[in-house]
Amino acid sequence: MRHLKILEYALSSLLRRKYKNLSLVAVYAFTVSILASILFLTHALKREAVAVFSDAPDLIVQKVSAGRHDLIPTGYLDSIRTIAGVGDVHPRYWGYYFDAMTQSNFTFLGINENLAGLELVQGRMPAEKGECTIGQGVAQAQFTGVGDQLVLIDSRRRSISFRIVGIFDAASNLLSNDLVLMTQRGLREFFDFPSGRATDIVVEVYNPDEISTVAAKIKKMLPDTRPIAKAELFRTYDSVFNWRSGMMLTLFSAALVAFSILAWDKAAGISGDEKGEIGILKAVGWDIADILELKFWEGIVISLTALLVGLTVAFVHVFLFNAPLLTPVLKGWSVLFPTFRLTPYIDLYQVFVIALLTVTPYVACTVIPSWKAAVTDPEMVMRG
Amino acid sequence: MKKHRIFLGMTLVECLVLGLLFFYSHTVLETNEKKLIPAKQKMVKYLELTDLSIWTEARYTRHPSQADLFTPFQDFPSAFEHFPAGSILAPGRPADSTTTLQIRR
Amino acid sequence: MMEAGLIQAEGVDKIYNRGKPDEIRALTNVSLQIKPGEVVVLKGPSGSGKTSLLSLIGCMARPTSGRVLVRDKDVAKLPERFLTQIRRKTFGFIFQQFNLIRKADVLENIALPLFPCNMTMAETRERAEAILDRFGLSGKRNRKVHRLSGGEQQRVAIARALINNPEVLIADEPTAHLDRKLAEDLAEILSALHRDGKTVIIATHDPFLYDHPFVDRIIVMQDGRIEGVIPS
């Protein structure tokens, strides 16, 4: 009962400085919502990557020439097939294309002609060399749809037109936004691939535990290659959205510092007014513990409200509105940027960390400075 | 003297809203995991994809898992990185022990 | 032990900022005794140590040397927590500057001493309302204190001092900011309290108060010492 009454008094005391405290809650909630948005977004992307790439190739072998990624001789396929534990080995044909008209980069991918249709495609997969299936981003950049022609300039500066036979669903944007699928033959002709060369080689390894052994063997057998294991792919994605390396968070930490200064100023720098108030409370029979409890409640009310509002705003922002405030930061130079609807993976541990990182320091910087005022003799109030 | 009730009530409502949002996310998650995720997995498997197509400005941002540490410099000699994508992702990684050739003496 | 000593001071010294250049000797060897139900006035010019003595009696500070006993308990030896308890239960204070929380409303100011007590919100409210009635402030319960007149503020301060039904009322220069009419009202309230059997200790240099018939004893102070007691 006593606690509730002190809470009641804390609320009146906060309401007495309504505008100051409301603006504080607003700034605080905004800070929390940005922090939470970043964490929600990166966590969801990370989880999405981990979930989606579970069936990615076990091992990809690139050729490295003069320190750079080079086209790999298809002759390497036979060497790799001799390694024990290796299943299917086949070449991948893909590359990048800069579209001068839209100033955007596309990713071209050559596929087998007999590939079955996919669920996330409107239309079908390219079956002959003049056909292509494109991602939403490409379709939007080119203002095209199924049945239209996609006109591209090849390496001999000839314009080649492909008939669009399918477009990927928006739901797959995170994977397919900039893709242009064509048949392997079509792609090789378009890029004028030298015969006997592929972009890289996909290696199937029967036993997942042996992937690294196989990789080492390939590296030994073919010293000019760089095998990339599936585990490395996951590790890449783990660190891609690693918040410690995030520039967003670096920028954000500046905001955080600014907020800390504001909070410190507002919460910690207790004014003569507040000191007087503490003196009065002591004089009328409040204990030190009561006064500290009062300050504790004041801190909790502000920071808990800001936390809950901030988390709610962040959730709505990221998962219902697809993070419109963060995408410009995330987007950077990209001309094609996927509009994606994230699967709302929420990490409760993360929410807990946000709560801990925001509420505790604030409450501490409310309570601690009032300690000094609370332990002095209340006599000073008698002297005005 | 009802402020504490209003506050506690509001806090409870906020918690409830947040709880409902989290619950909603959980249901969306389940339907997605039943439908969308398997479809995407199938897509990855068939097309042998390795990366998310978030940043298309450079090789090492489009296919971070396929690029190595030098890639940023190959795009443009004086380009440190494509900000901000390049700062959010760590471009490639030095090959680890499994993929490094043991130096023969 | 002396009979029925509610408050006793024995050879009390009070020195502020001891050992520092701005050391002030506020009280020197002060001894007095106050019986329950007495109205005592501490009289003297400003700087004579009245306020210091009041704050020692009211357990707001501890003596530098000597003893202050409240119901035979040595205040200096009690831990802070008990001092607060005594302050809350035994004393009601009326300050020279009223010391109200200016932007809070009347009801809250009056209920201030009750917030840290173990009683329900409803009880707290009831008690505050009752005392509001008694001082004719019911109509202004939601008014912010800084919008009240001086006399009303004074009444709020007295109501707050009395809400815990203390045995001893301590008032420091209570008429300093009041005109004659309001001072008379105050004297009326104080004598009513006296009739109820409360102990009242007033520090003042206002003749209107110390010459008032309800005063039992006047303690004359000068330079931190007791100069004399009337009637002796």
- Is there a single domain that holds both residue A253 and residue A323? yes
pLDDT in tens, C4-13: 578 999 999 9
- Do A76 and A46 share a structural domain? no
Same structural domain, A82 and A20: no
Inter-chain residue contact A118 with B3, CB threshold 8 Å: no
Whether residue C1 is contained in a domain is answered as no
The answer to whether C141 contacts chain B (CB < 8 Å) is: no
Cα distance between residue A313 and residue B86, in whole Å? 28
Least confident of A126-135, A267-276, C57-66, C143-152: A267-276
Distance between CA A74 and CA A132 in Å, rounded? 24
Cβ–Cβ gap A12/C120 under 8 Å:
no
Phi-psi region of A153 (alpha: psi -120 to 50; beta: other; left: phi over 0): beta
Q: Tell me: the pLDDT tens digits for A160-203? A: 999 999 999 988 888 999 999 999 999 999 999 999 999 999 99
Are C115 and A6 in contact (CB < 8 Å)?
Answer: yes
pLDDT one-digit tens code per residue, A354-378 = 888 778 878 887 888 788 778 877 7
The average pLDDT across A248-271 equals: 66
Averaged pLDDT, C91-115:
89
Question: A240 and B88: CB-CB below 8 Å?
Answer: yes
Look at the pTM and tell me if it is higher than 0.95.
no
C171: confidence class by pLDDT, cuts 50, 70, 90: very high
For residue A288, the tally of other CB atoms under 10 A from its CB is 18
The CA–CA distances, whole Å, from A284 to C91, C132, C161, C162 equal 9, 17, 8, 10
Q: For residue A197, what are the CA distances in angstroms to A63, A71, A74, B22?
A: 10, 6, 5, 50
The amino acid occupying position C203 is: A
Contact criterion met (CB < 8 Å) for C116 and A287:
yes
Asked if residue A360 is part of any domain, the answer here is: yes
Least confident of A166-175, A273-282, A303-312, B96-105: B96-105
How far apart, in whole angstroms, are the C-alpha atoms of residue C89 and residue C80?
14
* A219 occurs within a structural domain: no
Residue A261 and residue A334 in one domain: yes
Picking from A153-157, A225-229, A265-269, which range would have the lowest pLDDT averaged per residue? A265-269
Name the residue with higher pLDDT: A68 or C63: C63
In a shared domain, residues A30 and A112: no
- C-alpha pair distances (Å), A115 with each of A87, A111, B45: 19, 7, 11
Q: Determine which of B14, B20, B40, B82 to mutate to test the interface with A (most A C-beta atoms within 10 Å).
A: B40
Tally of CB atoms within 10 A around C26: 22
Chain-centre distance for alpha carbon A139: 24
Q: With respect to residue A99, please indicate whether it lies within any of the assigned structural domains.
A: yes
Q: What is the ipTM of this complex?
A: 0.86
Q: State CA A187 to chain mean position distance.
A: 32
Euclidean distance between CA atoms A237 and B95, whole angstroms? 16
Q: Please indicate, yes or no, whether residues A251 and A136 belong to a single structural domain of this protein.
A: no
Calculate the alpha carbon distances from C196 to A270, C200, C209 in Å: 41, 11, 19
Quick one: average pLDDT of C23-30?
90
Neighbours of chain C (3+ CB pairs under 8 A): A, B
| pLDDT above 70 as % of chain A | 90
Q: Considering only the beta carbons, identify the residue of B50, B84, B93 that sits closest to A60.
A: B50
Q: Is residue C208 part of a domain?
A: yes
A62 lies in a domain?
no
A76 & A48 share domain: no
Residues of A in contact with B51 (CB under 8 A): 233
Percentage of residues of chain C with pLDDT beyond 90: 30
C96 touches chain B (CB under 8 A): no
CB-based contact, C103 to chain A, within 8 Å: yes
The pLDDT assigned to A333 comes to 61
Which two three-digit tokens encode residue A381?
A: 């109030």
Residue C53 lies in a domain: yes
Which amino acid type is present at position A42?
T
DSSP assignments along chain C, one per residue: --TT-SEEEEEEEEEESTTSTT-EEEEEEEEEEE-TT-EEEEE--TTSSHHHHHHHHTTSS--SEEEEEETTEEGGGS-HHHHHHHHHHHEEEE-TT----TTSBHHHHHHGGGTTSSS-HHHHHHHHHHHHHHTT-GGGTTSBGGGS-HHHHHHHHHHHHHTT--SEEEEESTTTT--HHHHHHHHHHHHHHHHTT-EEEEEE--HHHHTSTT--EEEEEETTEEEEEE--
C15 touching A, CB under 8 A? Answer: no
pLDDT at B37: 87
Instruction: Give the confidence band of A242 by pLDDT, cuts at 50, 70, 90.
Output: low
pLDDT of residue B32: 79
What domain range is A184 assigned to?
Answer: 72-198
Contact B51, B61 (CB under 8 A): no
Residue with the two structure tokens 């936390």: A307
How many domains, chain C?
Answer: 1
Distance CA A276, CA B1 (A): 23
| CATH number, position C41 | 3.40.50.300
pLDDT value for C23: 87
User: Chains that contact B by 3+ CB pairs under 8 Å?
Assistant: A, C
Q: Phi and psi dihedrals of C205, rounded to 5?
A: -125, 25
A93/A102 Cα distance (integer angstroms):
24
Selected residue with higher pLDDT from C147 and A379: C147
Integer-rounded Cα radius of gyration of chain B: 24
In this structure, of A22-31, A136-145, A164-173, C1-10, the range with the lowest mean pLDDT score is: C1-10
Find, in chain B, the residue whose alpha carbon is nearest to that of A12: B3
Q: Is residue A192 domain-shared with residue A254, that is, in the same domain?
A: no
pLDDT at site A94 = 94
Tens of pLDDT along C197-231? 999 999 998 888 888 888 999 999 999 899 988 88
How many structural domains comprise chain A? 2
* 3-state SS, one letter per residue, for A279-324: HHHHHCCCCHHHHHHHHHHHHHHHHHHHHHHHHHHHHHHHHHCCCC
pLDDT at C1 over 50: no
* Blockwise average pLDDT, block size 10, chain B, 105 residues: 88 93 86 85 90 80 75 56 57 47 46
Residue C167 forms contact with A (CB below 8 Å): no
Segment C151-179 shows an average pLDDT of 89
Residues of B in contact with A354 (CB under 8 A): none
A370 min Cα distance to partner chain C (Å): 17
What pLDDT does A382 receive? 63
The nearest alpha carbon in chain A to B89 belongs to A240
Q: For residues C211 and B37, give the distance between their C-alpha atoms in angstroms, rounded to a whole number.
A: 92
Residue ranges of A 256-295 with Cβ closer than 8 A to chain B: none
pLDDT the model gives residue B105: 44
Q: Is the pLDDT of residue C168 over 80?
A: yes
* CA of A383 vs chain B CAs: smallest distance (Å): 31
Q: Collect all residues of chain B within an 8 Å Cβ-Cβ radius of residue C124.
A: 1
For residue A202, give the H/E element and its range.
Answer: strand A200-205
Q: Residue B13 in contact with residue A305, Cβ under 8 Å?
A: no
Residue tagged 């490639």 (tokens): B92
Q: Residue C9 and residue C30: Cα distance in Å, rounded?
A: 7
pLDDT bin (cut points 50, 70, 90) of residue A60 is very high
For residue B5, the chain C residues in CB contact (below 8 A) are: none
Whether A309 maps to a domain, the answer reads yes
Tens-place pLDDT, residues A81-118: 999 999 999 999 999 998 888 888 899 999 988 777 78
Q: Are residues A37 and A91 in the same domain?
A: no
Min Cα distance A265 → chain C (Å) is: 21
3 state SS of A108: strand
Q: Note whether A247 and A181 are same-domain residues.
A: no
Question: Pick from A62, A96, A308: which is nearest to B18 by CB?
Answer: A308
Q: In degrees, to the nearest 5, what angle opens at C-alpha A103 toward C-alphas A101 and A109?
A: 95
Q: Which of A174, A240, A319 sits opposite B25 (nearest CB)?
A: A319
pLDDT tens by residue, A205-237? 999 899 989 999 999 999 999 898 888 877 777
Helix (H) or strand (E) holding B15: helix B3-34
The fraction of chain C above a pLDDT of 70, given in percent, is: 98
Please name the residue of chain A whose CA is at the shortest distance from the CA of residue B35. Answer: A119
Rg (CA), chain A: 30
Q: Is the peptide bond before C231 cis (omega within 30 degrees of 0)?
A: yes
Residues pairing with C199 in the sheet:
C168
Q: Would you kindly state where each structural domain of chain B is located, as residue ranges?
A: 1-36, 50-95
DSSP designation for A378: G
A–B interface: beta-carbon pairs under 8 A: 243
Q: Are A97 and A217 in contact (CB under 8 A)?
A: no
- Nearest Cα residue in chain A from C118: A2
Within 10 Å of residue A126's Cβ, how many Cβ atoms?
27
Q: What is the per-residue pLDDT for C3?
A: 47
A chain contacts of residue C93, beta-carbon cutoff 8 Å: 283-284, 382
Domain end (from A169, A198, A227): A198
For chain B, say whether C28 makes contact (Cβ under 8 Å).
Answer: no
Predicted confidence at residue A236, as pLDDT, reads 74
Residues A248 and A362 in one domain: yes
Say whether B48 and A345 touch across the interface (CB within 8 A): no
